[in-house]
Structure 1
């Protein structure tokens, strides 16, 4: 007789954006979980005042650092909108994480540098210790991304230009769905894959007067997201060493297998 899976009967809230959640949901369901999908963040193109200059000087960079899958997609969208041929790019690419590198590959480019751990903090550390060197770097990013990579590059004497190519927002139509879910269903596991999703979750919960999540297991994709969840008193219990959605699903599976034993 086949096992029902370690998440059998567990209600799992998935807050990943639309278009990024399918494989994660598949893994949760394969482990027996009952998924409630409420995407708490969405993305749209951003018109950076520095965008025109970044496009004009695009071919002067020897490295382009992409920090997320969204950064990849919106970077190439900006190029296409401006009529730039990506085949003319001479820069080498660095990517934070294998998932970001995989999306980059769909545009015909290989990530030639990936930090040991998939975070901006780790990349900044490797810049500081001399593992990564460049002359002039472009960093396409989201509006909420931190500046630590650019700061580390400049401290080491390298030129670094940041370019905001997309912005993160709370899809308001999902707020009512989340509140209804929290009021009517139990949430055995709450998953977060970004600090923004934590903030949007707490905003909706506070507006609805819901403040008790002690019975829920909070799972975060990495330490930055965990720090935000813990700041709100959510007490993260699951946080994988590798910061990918696949590793998060595996960590949730492992947590509940241990609970069974």
Structure 2
């Protein structure tokens, strides 16, 4: 299906938007880019020390879960610094096909999971090795802050859950009015927002005025609820934040 009537703003961080933009353009749409989240390394000394101590204790965990490609990029830099050879007897997991592929590309023996629908936290929780976790330690590799749903569910199954927070998400340094100007100049009518934080940052950068005129594509009902609460009226829900899911949602417009 053609996207000929769509002028789409992709808001992923720098270096992570090209594939989706190319797919949009190939399908007949017009893709533009402006990041609403920047991904950077840790800068706080306390956070750096906490991450170091956690990674140095990697061999005490039975399961390690990387929540995203960013977690693999930053997390594996930490792991390789202190573990030239990976510790044994660990179940390695990634959330999303791209995350799993990135782990495998770095020779991490990541456990695949073949399920219908989105490869998200909810799908990972169905993995056979994560059902009975009494006396087991689970490490979640992620950025500073974020959703606690996965940890809560694993804790209910008996796991001792820790975080290795190895990067941070920050609001980009854009000149005042820069994003509204891009939207007007490129005649943007659709925006892809990949997380609840992206939705919040977009509102902060654009302002509440005119949000009801823009159609947004978001991953999942949870992010859609955040967007609705912030005042968006035209919301399309994709199955996940993957390129393919976002593209399929755009084709439904």
TM bucket, shorter chain: 0.7 to 0.9
- What pairs with 1:88-237 in structure 2 (closer than 5 Å)? 88-114=87-113, 116=115, 117-123=118-124, 126=126, 132-134=131-133, 135-173=136-174, 176-206=177-207, 211-237=209-235
Distance 1:156 1:218, change over 3 A: same
Higher mean alpha-carbon deviation, 143-152 vs 129-138, is at: 129-138
Cα pair 2:52 2:78 within 8 Å, conserved: no
CA displacement 1:129-159 (0-9 Å, x = unmatched) = 9853442211111113222222222222222
Q: Give the CA RMSD over aligned residues.
A: 2.5
Aligned equivalent of 2:19:
23
Q: Distance in 2 between matches of 1:193 and 1:68?
A: 12
TM-score w.r.t. the length of structure 1 is: 0.83
3-state secondary structure, aligned to 1:190:
strand
Q: Is the 8 A contact 2:71 2:166 kept in 1?
A: yes
Match of 2:55 in 1: 55
Question: 1:225: Cα distance to partner?
Answer: 2.4
- Who is 1:259 aligned against? none
The structure 1 segments of at least 4 consecutive aligned residues displaced by more than 6 Å after TM superposition are none
Q: Mean Cα displacement is larger for which, 174-183 or 216-225?
A: 174-183
Deviation at 1:39, TM superposition (A): 1.0
Identify the residue that residue 2 of structure 2 maps to in structure 1.
Answer: 6
1:85 corresponding residue in structure 2: 84
Structure 1 stretch 174-183 or stretch 184-193: which is displaced more? Answer: 174-183
- Matched residue pairs, number? 245
Runs of 5+ unmatched residues, structure 2: none
Contact preservation (8 Å) 2:214, 2:234: no
Asked if 1:43 is matched to 2:44, the reply is no
Alpha-carbon distance, 1:204 to partner = 1.3
Is the contact between residue 100 and residue 112 of structure 2 (CA under 8 Å) also seen in structure 1? no
Cα pair 1:139 1:162 within 8 Å, conserved: yes
Go from structure 1 to structure 2 and tell me whether the alpha carbon gap of 1:91 and 1:156 turns closer, same or farther (over 3 Å shift): same
Deviation for aligned residue 1:88: 3.9
Report the equivalent of 2:66.
Answer: 66
